[in-house]
A and B are shown apart, each in its own frame.
Chain A
Amino acid sequence: MSIFNPTRRGLIQTGVVAGAGLALPTYLRADSHAGFTNAPAGDTVTLGFNVPQTGPYADEGADELRAFELAVEHLNGEGDGGMMQTFSSKALEGNGIMGKKVAYVTGDTQTKSDAARASAKSMIEKDGAIMISGGSSSGVAVAVQSLCQETGVVFMAGLTHSNDTTGKDKKANGFRHFFNAYMSAAALAPVLKQLYGEDRSAYHLTADYTWGWTQQESIQAATEALGWSTINDVRTPLAATDFSSYIAPVLNSGADVLILNHYGGNMVNSLTNAVQFGLRDKQVNGKNFEIVVPLYSELMARGAGENITGIVGSQNWDWKLENEKGERYAGTNAFVKSFGEKYGFPPSQAAQTCYAQTLLYADAVARGGSFNPCSVGEALEGFEFDGLGNGPTLYRAGDHQCFKDVLVVRGKENPENEYDLVEIVEVTPADQVTYEVDHPMFAGGDLGQCNPGA
């Protein structure tokens, strides 16, 4: 007998087995234990740190992981307490979170949405993580944030800079401390005008995913408002490592500014390519050719070496902030001290945002008196705090985005040491980078209801 000629008996038997199989799921219902997903039992609570350990953002991921480990140490009352000493809220006592010792699991997002979700899922399903943090790619952050919304745990975004994370793709269970593309553009525009004038034509190279798209859109809108023109916008794949074929057309395009909407390893490579092609020594339209990197970090500056000299960009935070700009940024030095003592070098902005997010989560649990994501959300919404290194900060209720001062920085001419590569040009106050919840660049999403899960 072949599969094309079933017997009557064979057909009936197959049907019965298939029918029984299909009926099976109706007997498998979730038992409705009250409360929320992964309610911590026993005397420990598990947090999941999901960072890129491979791929273009691996350096940032490694630094984020260091910060998470430090934060867990401080929450458990080990070490010197870091920013817990300067944090304006005093709900944390150094005895874990609400008396439960903090444990953590780590995972590799590989800077891929699929892998990141698989990793986060195993943290939630297998290790019982009650909160997921991490990021370093907005594509990943958006994907993991929606997973956390579906499963009913809290997502404390790490480094994610796309407008979409708290715009189009915002979720009630997700919170972002880091700044975003719109804020970068708003802070950069006045400085660009002052440095390079109002008559410029820009050529964009843009990482081809959610962050690149919104970063490019924001900076284009901000520079065009200054009177600049936009010559072209070329999308480059995130996984690219050689950008020469994208840089070559810039030379004869008539543009006199190159805007690299790249981050991490991408930016290091594209900037190096651009310098190799002699863009920085070029004169176009009687003006010096300039390169702008909207999102900047010390780690990238280190990767790019001397190519970074004089290049302007924006940052969320810098380890020299309190020394240079004073008391307002209290917490910075405390954090740099304990990070430096543990690892031997100053932290990056990725590390700072991840450390702050972990503390903010723990604090929100302690103030709300419960690990329930809805209680955490309530405690964080509209929360005003200070002493985490960024000055006075607001967690806005409408979109779960933090509002704080933004730094405009420039690659230093003569760095004193390998960690002092960036100089702070200006600190843009939070008011200047604030926007409405329904701003067109952030429209189209809905927070929805907080989901405590099963």
Chain B
Amino acid sequence: MLGLDKKDTLMLLVVTALVVFAPILLNPFPAESSMAQFNAGYPDLMQRFVIFGILAIGFNILFGLTGYLSFGHAAFLGVGSYSAVWMMKLLTMNVIPAILLSVIVAGLFSVLIGYISLRRSGIYFSILTLAFAQMSFNLAYSVLTPITNGETGLQITLNDPRILDGANAPAYPNLFGAQMNEATTLFFGGWSFTFSVGYYLCGIIMLLSFYLSIRIFRSPFGMMLRAVKSNQQRMNYTGLNTKPYTLAAFVISGMYAGLAGGLLASMDPLAGAERMQWTASGEVVLMTILGGAGTLIGPILGAGFIKYFENIFSKINEATLEAWFAFLPAGLEDFVVAIIYPFVGKGWHLTLGLLFMLVVIFLPGGLVEGGQRVAKLFRRRDRQTTDAEPDTTRQGQIPPAE
């Protein structure tokens, strides 16, 4: 279907189903139960799942296919956000122009950075992109304050011009009148499921980007990118100029990041400089490696994994822990809480770091490899094992460090 082979179609359908039913799947615990802490099915977090999914899908086109490790993708995300907010300040609160402009501006910006950075490969490329991203961050943070509003963040106000909007136009980002924060909550016994306009818009755009990324992976262009990753020198010796291919991959990936930034600003009309910081760039790399670099679905899983930790684990505080372990004798309770506390709340980075180490050491192919190993356990032995690993075998395991 849609020019995909059977396996890819199935994957696309599975991802579609996950996106459509996420509000239900992510809220497995009744709202009043003590496990409700772990529910992730509220609009803001679901939007983050899919938006950072888009970012990671785009990053994977560059990193997974060509092996070029960019440490500056947050810059494109930030540029996309700023363009989107400016579009909402000047033109209209409709998100379509905002998203379009964010993709275009991020694309142009990535042509510029890519053209310079791609003159080098390997670690030098990474350092160059990191330098550019850090430069953009500092520009946004202090130098370009009139455009970016610095640390405070660029926001929309009541008296922005918005020349295309009439007097009665909604003052919140919307899609032809349907506001992004509109939501319907369905109650089903003790469970409650929230379906929001913003999430489904992001979800649809994510599915489109995912489809596009499958097509790129399976196209001759994608094959060329993989050839760049396996041996760029050999390609150059055969007389083939690889630069246009790598630049195209870089720009596509930058546009994905811009799209993510534009969506982020459309869901919540504020652009802060922090989203361009190098830690944000590093986060994308983590997402991709955690999920499985070079696989189609890995980056989405990685993005969801990290965002879940950031938003759910960081909110477990000491009082919550005490409530959980209240059944233990007093001395033991304090002990258990003292042991666990450093790993939750503001210590969530520690837990994430440990998990990341475990994944890198024991599952070099990321969560996708974990899933495949589990699947293999349930498979009949006489089946050919190569069948079970379509992506990793087809695309090589982890990218070489060049």
Residues of A within 8 A of B (CB): 1-4, 6-7, 10, 13-14, 17-18, 21-22, 24-26, 28-31, 53-54, 105-108, 112-115, 117-119, 121-122, 125-126, 138-139, 142-143, 146-147, 150-151, 169, 208-210, 235, 237-238, 445-446, 448, 454
Contact = CB atoms under 8 A, between A and B. Distances in A.
A150 B200 contact: no
Interface residues of B, number: 55
A30 B182 contact: yes
B194 interface: yes
A113 B268 CA distance: 12
B220 interface: yes
Given A14-B2, A113-B274, A105 B315 contact: yes
14 contacts: A2-B221, A29-B184, A31-B184, A107-B314, A108-B346, A114-B275, A125-B43, A126-B42, A143-B153, A146-B155, A146-B270, A237-B141, A445-B157, A454-B182
Contacts of A108: 314, 345-346
Contact of B44 (A106, A121, A210, A454): A121
B260 to A, nearest CB: 14
A237 B138 CA distance: 9
B323 to A, nearest CB: 11
Interface stretch (B60-68, B97-105, B201-209, B327-335): B201-209
B166 to A, nearest CB: 18
B351 to A, nearest CB: 15
Given A28-B182, A107-B315, A22 B204 contact: yes
Given A54-B346, A113-B274, A126-B39, A28 B200 contact: yes
A21 B44 contact: no
Contact of A25 (B1, B151, B158, B197): B197
A114 B315 contact: no
B181 interface: yes
B2 A13 contact: yes
B45 A122 contact: yes
Closest CB pairs A-B (n = 7): A209-B151, A21-B204, A121-B44, A3-B215, A126-B42, A125-B42, A113-B153
B274 A118 contact: no
Given A18-B208, A29-B178, 9 more contacts: A25-B175, A107-B314, A113-B270, A122-B42, A122-B315, A125-B42, A126-B44, A150-B181, A448-B158
Contacts of A169: 155, 157
Contacts of B153: 113-114, 139, 143
B34 interface: no
B364 to A, nearest CB: 30
Nearest to A209: B151
Contacts of B150: 208-209
B372 interface: no
A357 B366 CA distance: 48
B152 interface: yes
Contacts of B178: 25-26, 28-29
B384 interface: no
Contacts of B216: 3
A208 B172 CA distance: 28
A446 B159 contact: yes
Contacts of A14: 2, 211
Nearest to B348: A108
Nearest to A236: B142
Contact of B3 (A1, A26, A107, A209): A1
Contact of B184 (A18, A30, A445): A30
B220 A2 contact: yes
Contact of A30 (B2, B159, B183): B183
Contacts of B42: 122, 125-126
A276 B2 CA distance: 69
B143 to A, nearest CB: 10
A121 B346 contact: no
A275 B185 CA distance: 58
B44 A113 contact: no
A48 B86 CA distance: 30
Given A122-B311, A237-B142, A112 B3 contact: no
Contacts of A146: 155, 270
B256 interface: no
B219 interface: yes
A157 B96 CA distance: 34
A2 B183 CA distance: 39
A114 B274 contact: yes
B152 A106 contact: no
Contacts of B275: 114
B241 interface: no
A139 B48 contact: no
B155 A143 contact: yes
B159 A143 contact: no
Contact of B317 (A18, A29, A106): A106
B254 interface: no
A10 B1 CA distance: 8
Contacts of A53: 345-346
B317 to A, nearest CB: 5
A72 to B, nearest CB: 11
Interface in B26-65: 39, 42-45, 48
A451 B178 CA distance: 18
A119 B172 CA distance: 20
Query: Which of B39, B153, B158 counts the most A-chain CB atoms under 10 A from its CB?
Result: B153
A112 B280 CA distance: 13
Query: Which of B204, B207, B211 counts the most A-chain CB atoms under 10 A from its CB?
Result: B204
Contacts of A21: 204, 207-208
